[in-house]
Amino acid sequence: MDFLKEKLGDKYDEFMELIGDVKLKIDDGSIQIPKSRFDEVNERMKKAERELANIKKEKMTDEEKLQSY
């Protein structure tokens, strides 16, 4: 993990918190995160994007809503 600390610097702790308690596999300088963890983070991102889109729609005027269809 020294390689990651060197590359990420101040962002290392934030990165480790993001990926959680998973084992990373480092091959040829590339970092592989287990698919299950990737899917979990990806689903959380999609949910946040849907919530943001809903908030934006709620703030639209009726005319803006008609134009968006």
pLDDT average, residue stretch 57-63: 83
Cα–Cα distance measured from residue 65 to residue 7, given in angstroms and rounded to the nearest whole number? 45
Residue 24, exposed/middle/buried by CB under 10 A (0-12, 13-18, 19+)?
A: middle
Could you give the angle at which helices 12-19 and 35-59 cross, rounded to 10 degrees? 100
State pLDDT tens for residues 3-59.
777 888 888 888 777 776 555 666 676 667 778 888 888 899 999 999 998 898 888
pTM higher than the cut 0.75:
no
In angstroms, the Cα distances linking 41 to 17, 62, 64 are 12, 34, 32
Write down the domain spans for the chain: 1-33, 34-69
pLDDT score recorded for residue 50: 93
Give residue-wise pLDDT tens across range 5-14.
788 888 888 8
